[in-house]
Structure 1
Amino acid sequence: MSTALVIGGGPAGLMAAEELARAGHPVILAEAMPTPARKFLMAGKSGLNLTRNEPLPQFMQNLSFGAQDDPPPCLADPDAVFGPEDAMSWASGLGIELFTGSTGRVFPVGMKASPLLRAWLARLRGAGVEIRTRWRWQGWDDGGFAFDTPQGRQAIRPGVAVLALGGASWPRLGADGSWQPDLAAQGVQVAPFRPANMGLRVAWSAPMRRHFGQPVKATAIRAGDTVSRGEWVISRHGMEGGGIYAVSAAIRDGAPATLDLAPDLSHAALSARFAGTRGKISIGNWLRRVLGDPVRAALMLEWGRPFPDTAEGWAALAKTLPIRHDGPMGLDRAISSAGGIRFAALSPSLGLRALPGVFAAGEMLDWEAPTGGYLLTHCLGTGRQAGRAAARYLSEVRR
């Protein structure tokens, strides 16, 4: 029986391997790192946000596809898309109890990623998937897939292959985008990688250092038509955290960004607060009193100059404080990446048109999604789709 090869042991690769094994095919999964799914484990350290419990049409609106405005054929059929219900059912099938938070985010009750991964790897091995770690793909060699391994150079000539090598963010965890030249040399169209779900670089003034590591709550970030009410953190590098990640793509693509320091107050209500007598207190203490928070007052002092001289002006500034940044952080600090294999290079079943019998999934593809459950669910979904298509390909070849 022909062997199926999956290259990459992240969520997309593991899901593809599971689908191939479920279809009855022997599977070898090659992973470059000492253990699989390192980025998955890192993302789940502070709480694994598996998916977002919302209707599928709303869920899909948070997915974008490189230069395309419309979903590519492989993601245009709602019946074939892996959505929130699928993700929750899959995790429950691994014995993981879930709960949905107030914002619709879905987490394991234990919050961590490691119990889910242990259960998943055990199920894969029980299904016959052979996981080979420290196997780094080196392209093709005499028609086979070549690897650097602890045993020296090895080559595999499988009946079908699924590539799930990841994007180019967090390279220390294994996904460095080094596969691009090999695929481009085979005629596969690849869009350059760009950071996604990343923070903004800010050269903070000296007074801001006391606030490094502090969360910024109860604000709204606006970038173009996108608004985020999520919490973010003042770091020594700049602005980081979920609240800024949600609007980072719009800012990366050129949208000006502003910060609303009192999103729950109208302009009139905020003007009334600023109309109170300041007296002899310092402007910093006055802003802390009006805004009710020393961190938001510090941001007003940092980005608000020159200061207005009327209550209405102060309110307008607090509602649309310009975020003065030095651009997005790079791929080494980004949660994910945009760019990758263009959908024009793929069949509707995620097969590479230039390489029959080779499929691709996960962050290798030219799509992006925000954190908050969207990114992980779509990685799982493309892995499932590529694995099922690869299994069908093997079955057809055997006829």
Structure 2
Amino acid sequence: MNNAAPPTDVQNPAVTIIGAGPAGLMAAEILAQAGLRVTVHDHMPSVGRKFLMAGRGGLNLTHGETLETLLGRYQPAEPLLLQAIQGFPPAALIAWCEGLGVPTFRGSSGRIFPGSLKASPLLRAWLGRLNALDVEIRTRSRWTGFDAQGHPCFEGGTGERPEATILALGGASWPRLGSDGLWPAQLPEARVTPWAPANMGFTLDWSAHFRERFQGMPLKRIGLRFAGRTLRGEAMVTRTGLEGGALYALSAPLRQAIADIGQAEIELDLRPDLSAAVVAERMVARPRAESLANGLRKALALPPVAIGLVQEALRAGASPPPVAQLVKALPLRLTGVAPIERAISSAGGLAWSELDARLMLRARPGVFACGEMLDWEAPTGGYLLQGCFSTGVAAARGVLDWLAGTHD
């Protein structure tokens, strides 16, 4: 651990935070409540743009499963990340949200949402609290690196000489919302794991007929199997392949398989609530004169898109398996991953080995890091925001610990 001593002659220390997403704003709140002078910079015209985008379909703040189960969702299972979440767990995040006057509720899947399902009321209440704490937020302010004395520099110059700096620069997905993933150039001394898309779609070689007819159609209540793992969820047929929660939960191993061998073979269970024996029995019992499409619709209540998948598999194979078997184990070959620009989140980022126990950069005393810029990934379902909030809290606590002059 780097034990360089922080300044001790400042009665009201100033802290600069770069990045106004959930991690940066949470760090700002913690520090301002402790009496520090906090300035937050963001190069976009307004704050929390990706946070607001996340709330368009219902803001999933965190998850209500046990903490032990929740911690198992994060990869890599880095001790510093898990400690941060344990230090600010889902219960604390829920209490924080409700303390802003925004009630929460638990959905049937265990996910935790604000009562309105939207991000904008929560962000407004949050910014009101930060304003009351005299947190200064400067938008359209792009960070350009550090000067020779280690102070952060910005386009146009600000003259700031903070006692500590927190980097909350984000990952590399959805760059139009602010996190463009270009910050590693400003930290040439730091080891950064290369960016990769996470919670993204995958490409498949659909036939022209299937693509034109079914793109944009949802596959609901399906099962998905890959490499010995089975889960249930939903997916969406896209023009170039598939996306959706069932795939997002397995995005890391699927991505790795494609990187290793150029493809990933998955199986879909189109009726996971029925056993293979029941599916086979119903298909045998259907009238002989009935078309396959009508039989699948009447006997198994399959929607048109699922029927289309079965027909696609029958057309593709020289000797396809029985239809009942396809319904329970329909093979699909994923050939690639969707671009990181369209991914929900990103893998890669600042290596954990660059940080000490306070999330301070070992090579830059007084500079801390948090949020998506760190090297971790998790599936959708509340885990992404939980990780950002928790590491923002941990970085702020690290600043307070360092400024107090305590050392491990």
Q: 2:252 aligns with which of 244, 249, 272?
A: 249
More displaced stretch, 249-258 vs 359-368: 249-258
5 Å matches for 1:330-345? 330-345=339-354
Q: 1:191 aligns with which of 170, 182, 193?
A: 193
Cα–Cα, structure 1 residues 300 and 163, in superposed 2: closer, same or farther, change >3 Å? same
* 2:218 corresponds to: 215
Q: 2:331 aligns with which of 300, 322, 326?
A: 322
Q: Is 2:140 the counterpart of 1:137? A: no
Q: Is 2:117 the counterpart of 1:114? A: no
Q: Is 2:212 the counterpart of 1:228? A: no
More displaced stretch, 106-115 vs 136-145: 136-145
Superposed displacement of residue 302, structure 1: 2.2
* 2:359 corresponds to: 350
Please give the secondary structure, in 2, of the residue aligned with 1:332.
helix
Superposed displacement of residue 77, structure 1: 7.5
Superposed displacement of residue 87, structure 1: 1.3
Equivalent residues of 1:162, 1:360 under 8 A apart: yes
* 2:78 corresponds to: 71
Cα–Cα, structure 1 residues 258 and 348, in superposed 2: closer, same or farther, change >3 Å? same
Q: Is 2:111 the counterpart of 1:100? A: no
* 2:3 corresponds to: none
Please give the secondary structure, in 2, of the residue aligned with 1:376.
helix
Over the aligned positions, Cα root-mean-square deviation in angstroms equals 1.9
Please give the secondary structure, in 2, of the residue aligned with 1:168.
coil
Q: 1:28 aligns with which of 39, 52, 68?
A: 39
Superposed displacement of residue 258, structure 1: 1.4
- Separation in 1 of the partners of 2:159 and 2:224? 50
- Separation in 1 of the partners of 2:304 and 2:64? 34
* 1:162 corresponds to: 166
5 Å matches for 1:4-23? 4-23=15-34
Cα–Cα, structure 1 residues 171 and 285, in superposed 2: closer, same or farther, change >3 Å? same
Equivalent residues of 1:189, 1:341 under 8 A apart: yes
Give the TM-score normalised by the residue count of structure 1. Answer: 0.91
Equivalent residues of 2:217, 2:236 under 8 A apart: yes
* 2:207 corresponds to: 205
Equivalent residues of 2:63, 2:70 under 8 A apart: yes
Please give the secondary structure, in 2, of the residue aligned with 1:125.
helix
Equivalent residues of 1:232, 1:239 under 8 A apart: yes
Taking only the aligned residue pairs, the percentage that are identical comes to: 47
Equivalent residues of 2:71, 2:82 under 8 A apart: no
- Separation in 2 of the partners of 1:370 and 1:309? 34
Partner amino acid, structure 1, of 2:312: E
- Separation in 2 of the partners of 1:38 and 1:77? 24
* 2:260 corresponds to: none
- Separation in 2 of the partners of 1:155 and 1:340? 29
- Separation in 1 of the partners of 2:153 and 2:344? 29
Equivalent residues of 2:200, 2:243 under 8 A apart: yes
- Separation in 1 of the partners of 2:313 and 2:398? 52
Q: Which runs of 5+ in 2 are unaligned?
A: 1-11, 258-263
Q: Which runs of 5+ in 1 are unaligned?
A: none
* 1:86 corresponds to: 92
Q: 1:182 aligns with which of 147, 172, 186?
A: 186
Partner amino acid, structure 1, of 2:17: V
Cα–Cα, structure 1 residues 262 and 308, in superposed 2: closer, same or farther, change >3 Å? farther
Give the TM-score normalised by the residue count of structure 2. Answer: 0.89
Please give the secondary structure, in 1, of the residue aligned with 2:396.
helix
Superposed displacement of residue 241, structure 1: 2.2
Cα–Cα, structure 1 residues 190 and 77, in superposed 2: closer, same or farther, change >3 Å? closer
Task: Tell me the number of residue pairs that the alignment of Structure 1 and Structure 2 aligns.
Answer: 385
Q: What CA deviation, in whole Å up to 9, does each residue of 1:91-147 have, x standing for no partner? A: 111110111111101111111000000000110111011000011111123332111
Q: Is 2:373 the counterpart of 1:370? A: no
Q: 1:275 aligns with which of 257, 270, 284?
A: 284
* 2:4 corresponds to: none
Partner amino acid, structure 1, of 2:224: I
- Separation in 1 of the partners of 2:27 and 2:235? 34
